Amino acid sequence: MPKMKSNSGAAKRFRKRANGTFKCKQSHLRHILTKKSTKRKRQLRAGDVIEKVDTPAVRKMLPYS
């Protein structure tokens, strides 16, 4: 049986945490930054956690994590 491949896009975006959840980067920090407040941009730098309902889908894309 061939090896299972990870989804390369998901591998770049998600990392598994010790408790089984996945962490990711927050969106809305790539462009059109002039109209966003400094506070909003600063808070978007912090990481985020994938919602519980989305975890099975991410786990399927990353079989070795």
d(CA 1, CA 8): 20
CA 52 to mean position of chain CA atoms = 13
pLDDT score, position 62: 95
pLDDT in tens, 3-60: 889 999 999 999 999 999 999 999 999 999 999 999 999 999 999 999 999 999 999 9
CATH code reported for the domain at 8-61: 4.10.410.60
Residues 5 and 23: their CA atoms lie apart, in Å, by 20
Alpha carbon distance 41, 39 (integer Å)? 6
Q: Report pTM.
A: 0.83
Residue boundaries of the structural domains of the chain: 8-61
What's the Rg (C-alpha) of the chain? 15
What does the pLDDT look like over 4-14, one tens digit per residue? 899 999 999 99
The rounded distance, in Å, linking the Cα atoms of 17 and 65 is 9
Q: What is the pLDDT of residue 64?
A: 85
